[in-house]
Structure 1
């Protein structure tokens, strides 16, 4: 799937997953090599649980923000 006009998105690959009860933490790597960790409801995470699966991360444009260099 692709991001809609009103969403930000980035392609990534699943590296690892950790079951947290109602949610799963997914460790991902983008095509550029950046590491991303997301927490998603288990019904959403089920499709991305296998290591090496390609995923498309999306979020509404109004929910995105930039952090200064160094994450501070």
Structure 2
């Protein structure tokens, strides 16, 4: 496999991964108000914690993916 084909394949994989991550994050963020309000009825702290967890998970996924890519490129 030529280097150009390998680069195209890797670019396509990265684009697909980013699309899946953004789609998942979009769904989570769209449902977040319902989740937070539902859990907030049980406990305000639980609702707050769920909101923080949803927001942080978006960044955590990209952070973990960057670490995986870095380790893979060594």
Q: TM-score, normalised on structure 2?
A: 0.20
Select the structure that is richer in strand. 1
| Greater fraction helix | 2
Larger Rg: 2
TM-score in terms of structure 1 length: 0.20
**Larger relative contact order, structure 1 or 2 (CA cutoff 8 Å, min sep 6):** 1
